[in-house]
Amino acid sequence: MASIICGSLAFDTIMNFEGKFSQQIMPDQLHILNVSFLVPSLRRDFGGCAGNIAYSLQLLGGTPLPMATIGQDGGVYLERLAKLGISSEFVRTIDDAYTAQAMIITDIDNNQINGFHPGAMEHAWQTRIAARSDIRLGIIAPDGRDAMVQHAEQFAQAGIPFVFDPGQQLPRFDGAELRHFIELATWVTVNDYEGKMLSDRTGWDTAEISRRVQGLIVTLGAEGSEVWVGGHKTHVPPIKAASVVDPTGCGDAYRGALLYGLENGWSLERCAALGNHLGSVKISRRGPQNYGFSLADALA
């Protein structure tokens, strides 16, 4: 069975700052902030939430169907998907726009400063979701604002269970909109920072959000993750990474594991354990789609 992955396909320009942001930014001068970071290393990778999640799910043996829009420069991404064996059935090309671009600077503490140009992503609403016998699940990952709203409604109308993963697009929605997303969704996943913002905007604490869906997953980085079901929390311990190189795409690797587990009827705790494992594997490699692993070890 397949999973529709609504989100972005993007090119990531990743730069590494060999210092700490906290040592370069003066808190009492934020109103006139003007800083420059020397970044000796720079690389361009295939990225975007839909692409990264699809990569993770494909490595696990799932069937990802990314639903995304690319621009006039996106031909190489289509070639990339074909090489990986990932369907581009729901990938639309917008001829008068550029593919989404992320500019990411990471410091030695793995803090990140991002700039994001949405480009063709803002046209993602043009592709619609409909019920189909081979589609079992879906996920709303960060995407164009209108696409996230419309695709959530379309998943619900088609009777397709889906994960709501607002990510960095969460600030674009007010409390009423976020509450409606949660009411439509089957599961919700956020990192700990996003979880606090989601609670603040909806007026629902973590336990209450979990009562309104089948489960809420909160990722905690090096601390593992939390699974909330019916107001009750289970902590799923982390997997220690062999090395810490680049956190870009760790959350998306985790979400691919989540979809794989849900496709196979796993408990959320087991899904989270697999997500923690993939996150620990990904963080040891640069870029969001350059890692691999032993499938047998991961599923064990």
Give me the active site residues, please. Answer: 252
Cα–Cα distance for residue pair 9/79, rounded to 1 Å: 13
Eight-state DSSP code of residue 267: -
Helix (H) or strand (E) holding 192: helix 192-202
Q: Is 47 helix (H, G, I), strand (E, B) or coil?
A: strand
Query: How much of the chain is helix, strand and coil, in % rounded to 5?
Result: 40, 25, 35
**Bridge-partner residues for 228, per DSSP?**
216, 233
How far apart are alpha carbons 31 and 157 in whole angstroms?
A: 46
Copy the structure tokens of residue 60.
């696990």
Distance (Å, whole) CA 226 – CA 239: 14
Cα atoms found within 13 Å of the Cα of residue 276, Cβ hemisphere only:
24
Of 65, 61, 73, 64, nearest to 90 (Cα)? 65
Q: How far apart are CA 167 and CA 217, in angstroms?
A: 13
- For the sheet with 100-106, list strands across it: 41-47, 10-16, 100-106, 112-117
22: which strand partners?
none
Angle 179-55-248 (CA atoms, 0-180°, nearest 5)?
A: 70
